[in-house]
Amino acid sequence: MSNAQFETYGPSPAHEPPAYGGFDPYSAQTLAYGVHGVHGALGVHGAQGAYGMRTSTDTYVPAYQAHDAYAAYEPYGYGSYGSYGSSGTHGGSEASRDREDTYRPAYEEVSEAAAHTPVVRPRSGRRAAHRRRARAAERGDGTMRRLVPQALVVAFLAGGTTAFVAKDKAVELSVDGKSRTLHTFADDVTELLAEEGVEVGAHDVVAPGRDAALSSGDEVAVRYGRPVRLTIDGQHREVWTTAHTVEAALRQLGVRAEGAYLSTSRSRRIGREGLALDVRTERTVTIMADGLARTIRTNAATVREVVEQAGIILRGQDTTSVPLETFPRDGQTVTVLRITGRKEIRDEAIAFAVERVEDPSVFRGTEIVERAGVPGLRRVTYSLRTVNGVKQKPRKIKSEVVREPRTQIVKVGTKPLPTSVRGADHLNWRGLAACESGGRPDAVDSSGTYGGLYQFDTETWQSLGGKGRPQDAPAAEQTMRAKRLFVRQGASPWPHCGARLRG
C-alpha cells in the first residue's frame, strides 16, 4: 500500500470482512485461538504447538501484513489441537520472534513513511482532508479501547498456561521391557501406575520405589514376577523371577547351568503364567566295579544311568551299594555288587506251648503231665548268596507251617500235704533216704525202674495215691508216701536199707 493510499483511505478497520475474507481477528473467539497459538502450552500435547504462530502467520498475514496489530493477535494458532507435542510454550516464543522479525519492520516502515512523507491529498481541498484525518484518529482511539481489555485477557491466559505447563512431566515408562515416553501430572510412581492402569503384585519389581516422587525426565520400570516350579538335582521348590527367558532366570537365581541338563530350551521365553523347570547339574561320581574305579562327570537322573554311562553291565542278581533308582550326588562312590546264589529249604521244629491246670486231688507241689506236647514243623526257604566272591549269611526269603504244634497240659496239685503218719513219724527217714538215693529227690536207678528219695517203682507209687513218677514229686510228698508204705508193709520194701529206720 502506498503512502498516498494510506493517507487517502486510512488504516483498514480490523472488523471489515472484505479485507480478511469475512474473518474478524479482534473477536473474542479469534483472540482465544490466537492465545492458544501464541502460547501453545494450553494444548500441552500439541505436536505443532511450537510452530502455531508461524503456520498461522504464513496462512493469514499476507492479507494484512501492513498492520502490526494483526501480527500480535494471530488467529487460529494450532498449538491446542495437535497431539503429543513436546513443548507448547516454545510455540509462543517462536511466534513472537517471527512476528517481531517479520512483521514489525514492515509496520515500522509503513508508520515512519506515514509520519515523515508529505501527505498527497486529492484535489477536493483542505477541508475534506481534515475530515479524513479526524475520522482516522477516531478509529485509532476506538481500536485502542478495544485492544486494552483483550490484552488483559491474553496476559491472564498466558500466566495460567505457564503454571499448567510447570505441572506437566515427560516420563519414560517401561512395563516388562516395553518402553514409551508419556506426559503426566502424577506426583509419584504409584499415582503414575494407577493413571496408566498398570497393576503390580507382591512379586513384581518397580524401580524406583512406588512412593518415589516424579520429576520430568525420570525413568520408571515395572518388571512382572513369574513363578518357576524349579527342581534342582531332585530338590523341589517354587521361586519367582522377573527374567523373560530360562537362561536369564537361571542367572538371576544363581543356578550353575554349565554342563547341566535342562528340561526345556535356555532361550525359551517365560510367560506371566510361569513354567516348570527341571535342572540337573553336572556332578562327579565314582563307580567301583570288578576291582576297578571309574570316575565320570554326569548330569544323570539315576544311579542306573551313571552305571550305564560308565560302560558297566549288570547281569542276573547284580546290583549296586545304593538303590539303582536313587539320585546320584556329587562326589558319591557307588559299588557294583556281583551276586551269585542259590536257594535252600530247611525244616525247623516249632516249640509247643505248656498249659498248667490246677488239680485239688494232687498234693501241693506236685505237677502231673496230663497230655504230652508235640512240636510243630515249619519249612523255611533260605537264599544263600556270594557277593563279590564272599559268602553271605543265609537270608530267609520264605516260610510256611507244615504241622501245627500240640499244647502240653500239666496238672498242678493244690491239696495240702499231711503233716504226719501215725506209727511212722518217729523213724529215721533221713537215714533211709541217704542209703537208698544219697538224699536226692530226683534220683533214678540205672534201669530206670525206681526213682525218688526212697526208690519207688511207678506201680507202688501210684498205689499209694501218687501221680506221675515219684522222682517228679516234692521230697515231702515222697516221705509222706514212704511212711504210708511202712505202715502197710513195714521195712520189707527196703531190704538192704530198711535197718536204717531204727538207727
Give the model's confidence band at 403: pLDDT under 50 very low, under 70 low, under 90 confident, else very high: very high
Domain 418-502 sits in CATH at 1.10.530.10
Q: Does domain 283-337 have CATH number 3.10.110.10?
A: no
Average pLDDT, the chain: 75
What's the pLDDT tens digit per position in 465-486? 888 899 999 998 899 999 999 9
Q: What is the radius of gyration, based on Cα positions, of the chain?
A: 64
Asked if the model's pLDDT at residue 10 lies above 80, the reply is no
Q: What is the pLDDT of residue 432?
A: 94
- The three cell numbers locating residue 191: 499415582
Chain position carrying cell 545304593? 322
What's the pLDDT tens digit per position in 39-63? 333 333 333 333 333 333 333 333 3
Asked if the model's pLDDT at residue 142 lies above 80, the reply is no
What fold characterizes domain 342-411? Answer: Resuscitation-promoting factor rpfb fold (2.20.230)
Share of the chain above pLDDT 70, in %: 67
Separation CA 327–CA 304 (nearest Å)? 9
Average pLDDT over residues 118-124: 41
Separation CA 244–CA 380 (nearest Å)? 64
Report domain extents, the chain. 3-166, 170-223, 226-280, 283-337, 342-411, 418-502
Helix (H, G, I), strand (E, B) or coil at 160: helix
Fold agreement between 226-280 and 283-337: yes
Give the model's confidence band at 129: pLDDT under 50 very low, under 70 low, under 90 confident, else very high: low
Name the pTM for this structure: 0.39
What fold characterizes domain 170-223? Answer: Ubiquitin-like (UB roll) (3.10.20)
Average pLDDT over residues 434-453: 94
Q: Which CATH architecture has domain 226-280?
A: Roll (3.10)
Long-range Cβ pairs for the range 429-436 (8 Å, 24+): 429/479, 429/482, 429/483, 429/501, 431/500, 431/501, 431/503, 432/482, 432/494, 432/497, 432/498, 432/500, 432/501, 433/479, 434/500, 435/494, 435/496, 435/497, 435/500, 436/494, 436/497
408-415 sheet: strands from edge to edge: 354-363, 408-415, 367-371
Task: Please answer whether residues 26 and 148 qualify as being in contact, where contact means their C-beta atoms are separated by less than 8 angstroms.
Answer: no
